[in-house]
Amino acid sequence: MTEEVFRNDAYVKSCEATVVSIDDAGIELDRTVFYFNSGGQPGDIGTLSTADGRVVEITDARMDRDSGRHLHIPQDGAPVLAVGDAVTAVIDWDRRHRLMRMHSALHLLCAVVDGGVTGGQIGADKSRLDFDLPDTALDKEHIHAELNRLVEEDHPMGARWITDDEMAANADLVRTMSVKPPSGLGRVRLMEIDGVDLQPCGGTHVARTGEIGPLRVGKIENKGKHNRRINVHLED
């Protein structure tokens, strides 16, 4: 099982690691700073470098759903690594940090819009959430103002853990209607925005809402009878 360095500290940009397996699906390390594609947040990109000068460009990081392996996807034609190789894993920090800001912004959106989440996607510049809001008129200007108010208030953010039993007893914490938090591991990770929002999340986030920066609400779209899609953009 790969040690997920990013899970405890989203600001770690690199780590030393050892290759434990390689196949056509990708490269598995004993530990990694690469977040894998999950929960609407894209996998990280970056490099794996060896002391002898080999540099492997990583174009994606994914979780193999069958085996549970955390896989780093190399660019075609990249230098060959071998099991046992020591590598330095480095993420594209500029991209990751924008994804962190956007992911945290969507948690603010959950606090502003009262509705179950039916889908979503996080991007480095634009993200979206789909809400189950039949026959609801959404005020774009109000949402815009509330999001930026919460950013400017600079609320602390942080992760904490609860047991599976505590999660089962507090099912109202789950905002996503189609995806439930993993169970059977003994504990569930929550992301808390102090005084604003609390929900299960395994993604990477900023430390304070002020770090998100100014936001702009884009299109609000009807996607079927029940779905209302709200697009949010970083302003820088």
> Is residue 100 domain-resident?
yes
> Is residue 4 domain-resident?
no
Boundaries of domain holding 143: 96-234
Per-residue model confidence as pLDDT tens digits over 69-98:
999 999 999 999 999 999 999 999 999 999
- Are 203 and 158 within one domain? yes
Distance (Å) of CA 8 to CA 13, 38, 40: 13, 16, 19
Distance (Å) of CA 189 to CA 158, 172, 213, 216, 223: 10, 15, 25, 29, 30
Q: Which of 164, 189, 187 is nearest to 10 (CA)?
A: 189
User: Last residue of some domain: 91, 119, 137?
Assistant: 91
Check whether 114 has a pLDDT greater than 70.
Answer: yes
Q: What is the pLDDT of residue 172?
A: 83
Confidence class for position 179, pLDDT limits 50, 70, 90: low
> Is residue 39 domain-resident?
yes
Q: Which of 130, 101, 132 is nearest to 115 (CA)?
A: 132
Contact indicator for 36, 43 with CB cutoff of 8 Å: yes
Check whether 11 has a pLDDT greater than 90.
Answer: yes
Determine phi and psi for 55, rounding to 5 degrees: -130, 115
Check whether 229 has a pLDDT greater than 80.
Answer: yes
Contact indicator for 218, 233 with CB cutoff of 8 Å: yes
Beta pairing class for 70-74 and 26-29 = antiparallel
- Are 145 and 173 within one domain? yes
The share of the chain scoring above pLDDT 90, in percent, equals 77
How far apart CA 110 and CA 40 sit, in angstroms, is: 14
Distance (Å) of CA 98 to CA 44, 103, 110, 235: 11, 9, 19, 11
Q: What is the pLDDT of residue 97?
A: 98
How far apart CA 70 and CA 185 sit, in angstroms, is: 17
For residue 63, the one-letter residue type is: M
Confidence class for position 146, pLDDT limits 50, 70, 90: very high
Confidence class for position 129, pLDDT limits 50, 70, 90: very high
User: Last residue of some domain: 36, 64, 91?
Assistant: 91
> Is residue 3 domain-resident?
no
Check whether 203 has a pLDDT greater than 70.
Answer: yes
Mean pLDDT of 19-24: 96
How many structural domains does the chain have?
2
Q: What is the pLDDT of residue 184?
A: 64
- Are 207 and 126 within one domain? yes
> Is residue 5 domain-resident?
no
